[in-house]
């Protein structure tokens, strides 16, 4: 998929970070090789994103699986970084993780301090997303799944959930990572999911406290 993005902010609109911003929030975009992580970060960042893309060479043919992405000419070798100002005090930092297996060792560091994650999926290569979901579940990091539109065969939501072994409480959305409004919708869905999880924990906390404070029944004589 062409990585050109739509509705990008003009250079004159990319204001410097406000001096009042003191609340940094971190979200990570993960997924398989060539699913559009760099493209998504580029499409929503209000500043020129930091990118560590390098030209792919024949030296990587023996270690990188190019099945389904033969037209790809560059790849992320560390991470992508973008920024979105939420209000005068809060700013969202967006990190895109590298997709190739040889760079997966970087993921655990990127997950540190993360509020949540977007698992970007190419429905033509669903198996490439298994590792990302496994690592997020291992870290206990909340996530949603976004299916990037590559024009492949259509799958029902149930088919995708079954293929990725997703529980019903994990949001699943469709998107076009090249489109800014579509990528923003993905991030809003993640934030709403995080808010719902936080509210559920707050509701559960008093009940857990009451259960812990309840007297232990005396054993029957």
51 Cβ partners below 8 Å, 6+ apart? 38, 41, 42, 76, 80, 81
The pair of structure tokens assigned to 159 is 């088919």
The full length of the chain comes to 221
The pair of structure tokens assigned to 149 is 């539109």
Tokens 């970087």 belong to 106
Contact 65, 32 (CB under 8 A): no
The pair of structure tokens assigned to 56 is 């792919």
Contact 122, 67 (CB under 8 A): no
Per-residue pLDDT at 25: 87
Instruction: Report pLDDT digits (tens) over 124-144.
Output: 888 888 988 988 898 899 999
pLDDT tier at 59, thresholds 50, 70, 90: very low
- In 57-142, at which residue ranges do the beta strands (DSSP E only) sit? 74-76, 80-85, 90-96, 116-122
pTM of the model: 0.73
* Rounded CA separation 47/14 (Å): 5
pLDDT tier at 4, thresholds 50, 70, 90: low
């Amino acid at each position: 998929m062409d990585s050109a993005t739509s509705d990008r902010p003009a250079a004159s609109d990319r204001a410097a970070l406000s001096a009042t911003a003191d609340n940094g929030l971190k979200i990570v975009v993960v997924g398989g090789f060539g699913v559009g992580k760099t493209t998504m970060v580029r499409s929503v960042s209000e500043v020129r994103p930091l990118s560590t893309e390098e030209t792919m060479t024949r030296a990587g043919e023996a270690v990188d699986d190019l099945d389904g992405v033969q037209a790809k000419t560059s790849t992320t070798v560390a991470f992508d970084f973008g920024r979105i100002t939420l209000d005068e005090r809060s700013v969202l930092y967006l990190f895109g993780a590298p997709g190739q297996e040889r760079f997966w060792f970087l993921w655990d560091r990127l997950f540190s301090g993360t509020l949540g994650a977007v698992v970007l999926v190419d429905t033509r290569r669903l198996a490439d997303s298994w590792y990302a979901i496994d690592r997020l579940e291992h870290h206990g990091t909340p996530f949603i799944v976004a299916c990037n539109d590559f024009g492949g065969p259509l799958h029902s939501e149930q088919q995708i959930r079954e293929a990725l072994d997703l529980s019903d409480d994990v949001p699943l959305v469709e998107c076009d990572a090249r489109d800014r409004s579509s990528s923003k919708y993905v991030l809003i869905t993640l934030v709403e999911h995080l808010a719902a999880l936080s509210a559920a924990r707050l509701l559960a906390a008093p009940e857990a406290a009451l259960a812990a404070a309840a007297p232990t029944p005396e054993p029957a004589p």
